[in-house]
Amino acid sequence: MANRILYPVRHYDPELKVIDVLIEPNGTGVPNIISGHRGVASVVRNTTGDIIVTMNDGWVYMPVMGVSLQLAAFANCTVIAGPYSAVAKTLHIFTATAGSQADISADGTNHQNLIHLHLACKDSSVK
């Protein structure tokens, strides 16, 4: 697992793997992966509206977990990544508008409503 090349960038730590994924929400439907398929097995939306990213590998240590939201129109939205389960290989992404759970709709063919997920992962917790 540690010798698999997931992203063509060299790091000071050869065990550190970077995964960048662009996800397009689709309202109550299945989200689309726009780019960054390496390291991600699937992206789905559960019944409560959370986006669940399933990784190919169960990473033991994730020193960097960043998520950002790009919207076509201004809105009071929040996006939060977590929790992550190494056993289930899943990461939950929560989206909220004005503090309440909210689905983000698709923006047609323009791909303007996007969630950018940036992860740095390791096979071991040894630093």
Domain ranges of the chain: 17-122
Task: Give the pLDDT score at 76.
Answer: 77
Pairing mode of beta strands 51-55, 40-45: antiparallel
* Whole-angstrom distance, CA of residue 77 vs CA of residue 46: 19
CA angle 79, 84, 88 (to 5 degrees): 130
* Whole-angstrom distance, CA of residue 73 vs CA of residue 26: 15
Task: Give the pLDDT score at 123.
Answer: 77
- Side chain identity, residue 97: T
Using only C-alpha atoms, the chain has a radius of gyration, in whole angstroms, of 15
* Whole-angstrom distance, CA of residue 90 vs CA of residue 85: 5
Q: Which residue has the higher pLDDT, 27 or 89?
A: 89
**pLDDT confidence tier of residue 3, bands split at 50, 70 and 90:** low
- Token pair for 72: 């076509």
pLDDT of 17 strictly over 70: yes
* Whole-angstrom distance, CA of residue 26 vs CA of residue 75: 17
Q: State pLDDT tens for residues 62-97.
A: 888 889 888 877 777 888 888 888 888 999 988 887
pLDDT of 43 strictly over 80: yes
* Whole-angstrom distance, CA of residue 91 vs CA of residue 97: 20
